Amino acid sequence: MKTRHSAHARILYKTLSCSIILLALNLRPLCCLLYHCGHTVSPFPAGCRGAEVLCCLLIVYINFFPALTTGRTSTARNKILEDGVALLQIFLTTTILETLGCIAGLFLTAPKASANLLPFLSTWLRYLLPVFLVELVLFWNGILRVYLTSVQLGIRWRIIGIICGCIPFVHIYVLCRIIGIAGGEVQLENEKFLLNQIRAENQECQTRYPILLVHGVFFRDFRFFNYWGRIPGELKRNGAALFYGNQQSAASVAECGQELAGRIRQILAETGCEKVNIIAHSKGGLDSRYAISKCGAAPYVASLTTVNTPHRGCIFADYLLDRIPDKVCHSVAANYNAALKRFGDREPDFLEAVRDLTASSCVRLNELLPDAPQVYYQSVGSKMRQAVSGRFPLNLSYPLVKHFDGDCDGLVSLDSMKWGAKFICPDAPAGRGISHGDMIDLNRENVPGFDVREFYVSLVRDLKKMGF
């Protein structure tokens, strides 16, 4: 399974080898075209007919196996994506070369066509139609593979590709961008696949106690939603035993804390383990602290790692609740509660969840929730550098939060995230920053300079080294 070649090198090999085959096939029609249009250029001899048939068979094979082999170097999804990128590159390369050849052919044959225009055009269409059909199949085979398997293209580039597909010259630029984005995704996924193979025997995330992932507000980690993106799969591949909090998505810290305490006891009963390591995101960190300090879960928790948790609340949340009329607040809350109830929350309470995230409420919570001495506390926090660093709605909330709370991730200030014996602040060197959603891989986006999956592997590996 292991290979020394990068994804880009393999795709380049596919592109060059398949392009040579396609050009070899299409060279005969072009030579025949020039010959029939009255030039002295001789077509290939009849003895090459067998080679031409072989090229046709190879084109069929290329469309099913662009790698020219059936070997697998990554996951099945990534293999399909890699082949799709290769097909698009083959299409782009051969189309450009064939177009240049046709333009040259037109200049050579046009002087002879003045008297017999209709036969001239008929001859061109007859010889170029097979070439056009081959390229059409290549394009649709490649673009469908890429559209159906790429994560990083997102909705935006898919829509741009559809809209700009018929605009001359613009479609070439858009296709190159799609190939670049998908090709980069292929390379990263192949590298991670090989990395996990190399360290598979080490089981680097096999901690002494299982990991309990606790979600934040207004989201769920079971039924209909995958809150943690690609992170759980990466941790499991490296030996982690994972469980989820399963608490309600919108309820007070106290109520969610009680649910988490019950969930911890359930995990202990199912596995026979003595404790759990909690990794909690956003409000989930407050819920976890409540479970430890107020619900008797402290003896069963080895460590608590909070990720972008508003331990000191959000000043902008106080501002909004003070300024927005009560009637509007209750109307929004009623709509949210109705929606969340349909998704499985028993008694969702939008307003209670929001109030517990205000700075004034967190002052009272911190007085009520002293750290348990037997639990290791640490925290993780990140910040955005500009509004465009985050997806909707974080790109809209960022200026407001930054105005009231300072450096933030679009929802929570950096100062509010700090808690425990250690504070970890990853950063993306590309100038983009890391948003509240990026820290849990919510959008499955590869952030330049920050590999969120590898970050969590490192986080859990460190817990293992500390004996947790």
246 with 185, same domain: the answer is no
- Give residue 123's pLDDT: 63
- Give residue 23's pLDDT: 56
171 with 237, same domain: the answer is no
183 with 51, same domain: the answer is yes
Domain membership flag for residue 321? yes
For residue range 420-448, what is the model confidence (pLDDT) as tens digits? 999 999 988 777 899 999 999 988 888 88
32 with 147, same domain: the answer is yes
- Give residue 26's pLDDT: 53
253 with 147, same domain: the answer is no
Q: Which residues of 251-281 are buried (b: 16+ CB within 10 A; e: fewer)?
A: bbbbbbbbbbbebbeebbeeeeeebbbbbbb
224 with 135, same domain: the answer is no
Domain membership flag for residue 2? no
Most trustworthy range by pLDDT among 137-141, 202-206, 265-269: 265-269
Lowest mean pLDDT, pick from 12-26, 99-113, 182-196, 218-232: 12-26
Q: Write the CATH number for 273.
A: 3.40.50.1820
Contact yes or no for 127/29 (Cβ under 8 A): yes
- Give residue 449's pLDDT: 87
**Does residue 70 surpass a pLDDT of 60?**
no
- Give residue 45's pLDDT: 47
Reported as half-sphere exposure (CB side, CA atoms, 13 A), residue 257 has a value of 23
39 with 152, same domain: the answer is yes
With a pLDDT cut of 70, the percent of the chain lying above it is: 80
- Give residue 318's pLDDT: 80
**Cis link prior to 393 (omega < 30° from 0)?**
yes
**Does residue 75 surpass a pLDDT of 90?**
no
For residue range 176-233, what is the model confidence (pLDDT) as tens digits? 999 999 988 988 888 888 888 888 788 899 999 999 999 988 877 766 567 899 999 9
CA distance 247 to 365: 19
Domain membership flag for residue 181? yes
123 with 234, same domain: the answer is no
Domain hosting 33: range is 7-196
Contact yes or no for 312/416 (Cβ under 8 A): yes
**Does residue 164 surpass a pLDDT of 80?**
yes
Going across the sheet that includes 211-214, the strands are 242-244, 211-214, 276-281, 301-307, 376-380, 422-424
Lowest mean pLDDT, pick from 24-33, 83-92, 98-107: 24-33
Q: Last residue of a domain, which of 177, 196, 215?
A: 196
- Number of domains comprising the chain: 2
- Give residue 432's pLDDT: 85
321 with 419, same domain: the answer is yes
Q: Last residue of a domain, which of 141, 168, 196?
A: 196
- Give residue 14's pLDDT: 56
275 with 227, same domain: the answer is yes
Contacts 24+ apart (CB under 8 A), 70-78: 72/1, 73/1, 73/3, 73/10, 73/190, 73/193, 73/194, 74/186, 74/189, 74/190, 74/193, 75/189, 75/193, 77/149, 78/149, 78/185, 78/186, 78/189, 78/190, 78/193
179 with 222, same domain: the answer is no
- Give residue 30's pLDDT: 53
422-424/376-380 β-pairing:
parallel
- Give residue 135's pLDDT: 82
Residue 378 — pLDDT band, cuts 50, 70, 90?
very high
**Does residue 16 surpass a pLDDT of 60?**
no
| Type of residue found at 455 | F
Contact yes or no for 427/382 (Cβ under 8 A): yes
Mean pLDDT of the chain: 82
**Does residue 298 surpass a pLDDT of 80?**
yes
